[in-house]
Structure formats: structure tokens, C-alpha cells
Structure 1
Amino acid sequence: MHAIHDARRTAASLPWDALADEIEALLRAGAARVPPRIVMPTGDGSVLFVMPATDGTVAMTKLISFTAANAGAGRPTIQGEVSVFDVASGERRLILDGPTVTARRTAAVSALAARHLAACPQGPALIVGAGVQGRAHLQACAATLGVRRFVIASRSAASAQALVQHAHSLGLQAESVADAHAALARCPLVVTCTPANAVVLRGPVRADAFVAAVGAFTPQMRELDAGLCRHFAEHGRIVVDTRDAEHEAGDLLQAGIAVAPLPSLQDVLRGPQPPRGGPVLFKSCGWAGWDLAAARLALRQGA
């Protein structure tokens, strides 16, 4: 027997603080085995992703489609599921909603990185992009970092206002701005989570800024201006989510920045902490290990 969780139940099984803690525990243990994900273009900018991972006890595979054209058609851009197995018996234990897992684990990773890297993790926070990831990051920053004030920027004024209203429903302060750059001077915490088909942030950023760049996950995609990326490299620090970013971090690759020497989030958690100073860029591309952490937590929550 296995349980099937819809989007609502999947979200309920992945509370923000517990999910960030689970991801940190997985990285510190270093026992996850995560082969390179299969990325198969299916035409017209659409992609099918197959992402397996195991820790020797739990195994899971996320199978999702990414259809960029759906953004303007009223359909979700990410669809699919996460199948979770018990390694010892081979039994399928759980099926989770793929888009919900993707949204929550991505935002939880950003919040985890901010815990350890941000000079001012309590914000105020600027969120550039008011879609699914914008909403997830707003919730994660509020629940995990204690952020109470948000500034929302989006190409769609209606989407920005909808996210502002969602923030108000959670008892948070929020406002929308037409120009993201206008808020950089007052927001030390920044998240970019757009479709990454155009540069949305050029800077300048504050000396104590922490920017989580989430939207770009292929060499062709980018959200950050090349000059801004180089500013982080020269005057602050760049951390990538995993070593896979070496061939996926379009923001950095298009800026001519060598990704291989950069520390990963696991390096940050398992190594000595360098003194803080200058702005920090956290470049996130995604990794099946985050989905594995979500699967482990969801199994325990349902036990």
C-alpha cells in the first residue's frame, strides 16, 4: 500500500522549518547518492526531467515536465510527481505532488542558505517574480527567517498585487513596486524567481545584501546582469547550491565566472566559516537531493 498526496496534503507534510532542517541534515551527513538528472527537451522550450536519489534507506524519483509556454496560458509550468520507495523492501511508500515538492524544497534551500550566509536574514525582503516560486519564497522567508516586510516586483502588476494580498492574509507587511531596482537600497534580502528569459536585476546591491537567484537553471537562462555577478565575485562571495551548477548556472556562466572553484552550500555547512563581509550571491539550480530530503520528511510526517 502507498499513500497518494495531492498538492494540499503534500504541502502539509513539508512544514517550512522542518524541511529546511531536513535539507541541512542531509547535506551534513553527506550520504545521499544523486546521479546527474536526465534533462530531455521535448520541443518548443519544453523539457522532461527525471531526477532520482537515495540515502540507502529511502529512494525516490521525481518526474516532472517544464512547459514555459504554459506561463501565459493559465496552466502550471511545472507538472509531475515524486515517487518514494523503501530501499529494503522495494515497496513504493508514497506519491507526492511534484510541483508542490519543487516549490517548497527550492524555497527551503534558499532560506537555509540565508540562515548561514545572510548578514540580515530578517529582511526586509525583495522578491522579484510573483509566481509559484515567489509565493513559496515569501512563505519560507516568513516562517523560517522571521521576515515580516516584503517588497514584490513582477512584470505582471496583477500577479504582484495578488502576492501582496497573500502576504497581508498571513499578517505580513508587503507592497509592490514597478521597478525592482528602486527597492534594492532598503532590502538586504533579495530573491529572484522569474522565468529567467531576461535580466531582471542589475544592481547596485547593498554591501550587506544576500541575493538568492533561483529562476535560471540552464546555461542559456539568466536573471542577473553579468556585471552584477562579477561584482559579487570581486567584492563579496558567491555560493552555489551544488556542484551541478558548474554546467547549469547560466547567470554565472554567461558572466564568464569560473563556477568550479566556488563553494557549494554543503561546503559552507561542513567546513569552517570564513569571516562575513561584502554581498553574497547564492546561485540555486536545483538538485534531486532536495527532493530526497522532502521525501524523507513526508514519510516521517505520515508515520
Structure 2
Amino acid sequence: MKDASPLLDARQTAARLPYPALVAEIVRLLGDDSVQVPERLVQPLASGGSLFVMPAMDGRVAITKLITFTPANAGTPRATIQGDVVVFDVASGARWLVLDGPTVTARRTAAVSLLAAQRLAPNPHGPLLIVGAGVQGLAHLEAFAEGLGVTDVVIASRSPASAQALAAHAQTLGLRAQVTQNANAALAECPLAVTCTPAAAVVLETLPRGDGFIAAVGAFTPTMVELGSVLCRHIAETGTVFVDTANALHEAGDLMQAELDVGRFATLADVMRGELARPAGPVLFKSCGWAGWDLAAARTALRADAGQ
């Protein structure tokens, strides 16, 4: 690794995590038998938020993501996710880097959704519907534009100002963007959809197109939800449901509230092992988060510092 300041701000962290490199590192990580990811600690806070302690390691790198999630900050100048990812050298125990936690979370989540769409979406060209115009909405917009070549995007948000701001950003990227107040109606015109809201209520419930792909990333506890139960059961019956990791068994609120057997759904690792053909019919990819994705981000950042 090149000599550099170990403490990186949001801009410096993002610069070390370009989406093509991050997706490639996620693929490598899923084939790396040395990776270990202990169960994450989630500690409720008196404010209604949560403290997350998420370790992961391989034969060379160990990381811990230490972040707070504060839903009450949604719609305020304060970020809902705050914290850091600390990266260590396994051999010496030395601290190599400290990455900006919210930036890592946003970019690795969008990269996982992008990889799933690249491998699983029946119609990957869009238009793309984004429900939720916050940090994750921005990250998914940029990732899908760069990684899939999406040129048209429809944005839905409970905050009209946030939706307009994200649409304006999309236009600076050369995309055609429009805002809608009816995400369910827009789903009929969009074969790609991402839900990235605070997951306090159902935001999509209409049935998707036969060639639809939905990446649901907002809900990561049994009580959180973005997708209607009828929608989830419909895709499970007529198409295919995938989860990011086996941890979704205890975390995928959308699927659990639909009373689906989450343990029967294939994971992204199963997909990458080449055991599954590209599915027919609508696809739901449920992402709950995993410290392994943060480890992949740390490895990507270290490669960038090393000039690899």
C-alpha cells in the first residue's frame, strides 16, 4: 500500500471505491474461503437508533465497521448512518485505513444490488425506478447508470425536494430523469426498481412486470418493511426470490412479514458459483447487509492505494 493518511473522509473514501472495481472485489470475496464474518452486534440506543459493530476478516485484512443508525434523522440535515470502517493488517495488527462508514455502506450496498442486477435481471436496460431519494438512492442511481448503462430513471420520494434534487443530479450524468408521486404506477413502466427507504412502511405493493427486477435494500430487521406481502408472495410463486446472504433468514423483514420461508431462497454466493441459470419471470433481490461487503470495500480501497 502506498504511504497515505490513514483517515479518509467521504470524498477520499468514494474515490477508492469505483463501482467496477468494487463489484469485481465482491465477486472475488464470494470465492475466497479465508473470509470469516462473525455475527454482527446490534445494540438498541435510547434515542430509538441502533449501534452496529460488524467485524470481518480474511487471511490478510481484518475490519470492523462501527456505525450508528438513527431513523429520526431522516429528513433532517443529520445523516441517518454515521461512523467508520477501521481496516487492520492481520499479520502486524497495524491499522491501515479508516474509511468513512456511510460512504462504504452506500457504495457497497449499491454495488451488491448492481451485481445482482447484472446476473439476474431479465431486462437490465431500464428504465430504473428508485424509491427513496436519500444517500442510497443516489448511490444506486450512479451504480446502475455506470454498471448497466441505464439512461432513464424515475424517482419517487416522500420528500418532493429530495426527489427533484436527485433527478437534477441524474441529468448532470446525462440521464433522462423524471419524478413521480406514484411509485406503484411507475413500476408498470420500469423493469428495474430499487427500494431504498427508511423502511417504516410499504412503498411498493403493486405486482411487477413479468420481466421485472426489484432490489429491496431498506429493510434489515424483522419489523422493517418496504414491499407489500402480496407482491413478495407473487414473485416467490411466479418468479424467483434471492437474498444477499443466509443472514436474511433472521433479517429480511419484507419476506418474513409475507410469511415466506426465507431459508429456501438462493443467496448471491449461490448465484456466483454458477449453480443457477438466469431465472425466468420477475426477480426480487432482498439485501439486508453483511460485514463481508464492507470487507470487500476495504480490500478495494487497499488495492487502490497500492495502485493495483
Per the normalisation by structure 1, the TM-score is: 0.98
2:69 aligned with 1:66, yes or no?
A: yes
Q: Which residue of 1 aligns with 2:18?
A: 15
Write out aligned runs for 1:179-218 (5 A): 179-218=182-221
Comparing 272-281 with 62-71, which one deviates more in the overlay?
Answer: 272-281
Is the partner of 1:43 in helix, strand or coil? coil
Does residue 255 (structure 1) correspond to residue 258 (structure 2)? The answer is yes
Counterparts of 1:6 and 1:87, CA distance in 2: 23
Quote how far apart the aligned CAs of 1:275 are.
Answer: 5.0
Q: Provide the C-alpha distance between the structure 1 equivalents of 2:267 and 2:143, rounded to a whole number of angstroms.
A: 21
Instruction: State the 4+ residue runs in structure 1 displaced beyond 4 angstroms.
Output: none
Q: Please name the residue that 1:25 is paired with.
A: 28
Kindly indicate whether residue 165 of structure 2 is the aligned counterpart of residue 134 of structure 1. no
Q: Call closer, same or farther: CA 1:38–1:165 in 2, change over 3 Å.
A: same
Residues in 2 aligned to 1:142 and 1:187: alpha-carbon distance in whole angstroms: 14
Match of residue 167 from structure 1: 170
Distance 1:123 1:29 in 2: 32
1:276 aligns with 2:276: no
1:248-298 deviation line (CA, Å, top 9, x unaligned): 000000010011111100011114223521100000000000000000010
Letter in 2 for 1:205: P
- Contact kept, 8 Å, 2:122 with 2:281, in 1: the verdict is no
Are 1:91 and 2:94 matched, yes or no? yes
State the distance in 1 between where 2:119 and 2:31 align. Answer: 13
* SS of residue paired to 1:48: strand
* Contact 2:120–2:278 (CA under 8 A) maintained in structure 1: no
TM-superposed CA distance for 1:25, in Å, is 1.1
Q: Measure, in 1, the Cα distance between the counterparts of 2:142 and 2:34.
A: 29
Determine helix, strand or coil for the equivalent of 1:126: strand
* Bigger Cα displacement from structure 2, 178-187 vs 188-197: 178-187
Give the residue type in structure 2 aligned to 1:167: A
Looking at structure 2, the residues matched to 30 and 151 of structure 1 have their Cα atoms a distance apart, in angstroms, of 40
Distance, in Å, in 2 between the alignment partners of 1:137 and 1:149 is 13
The 2-side partners of 1:219 and 1:30 are apart by 29
Distance 1:187 1:42, change over 3 A: same
TM-score by length of 2: 0.96
Aligned-pair distance for 1:74?
A: 1.6
Q: Which residues of structure 1 form unaligned runs of 5+?
A: none
Distance between the aligned counterparts of 1:28 and 1:190, measured in 2? Answer: 28
Distance 1:72 1:11 in 2: 23
Is 1:100 aligned with 2:100? Answer: no
Whether the 8 Å contact between 2:238 and 2:282 is mirrored in structure 1 is yes
Looking at structure 2, the residues matched to 15 and 63 of structure 1 have their Cα atoms a distance apart, in angstroms, of: 22
Task: For residue 45 of structure 1, report the CA deviation from its aligned partner.
Answer: 2.2
Name the structure 2 match of 1:289.
Answer: 292
- Please state whether the residue corresponding to 2:225 is helix, strand or coil: coil
Change (3 A) 1:279 1:30: farther
Q: What letter is aligned with 2:107?
A: R
Structure-1 separation of matches of 2:184 and 2:155: 11
Count of residue correspondences: 303
Unaligned runs of 5+ in 2: none
Q: What is the deviation of 1:122?
A: 1.9
- Which of 42, 51, 64 is the aligned partner of 1:48? 51
In structure 1, distance between residues paired with 2:31 and 2:185: 38
Distance 1:30 1:201, change over 3 A: farther
Q: From 259, 262, 270, give the equivalent of 1:267.
A: 270
2:126 aligns with 123
Residue type at the aligned position of 1:195: P
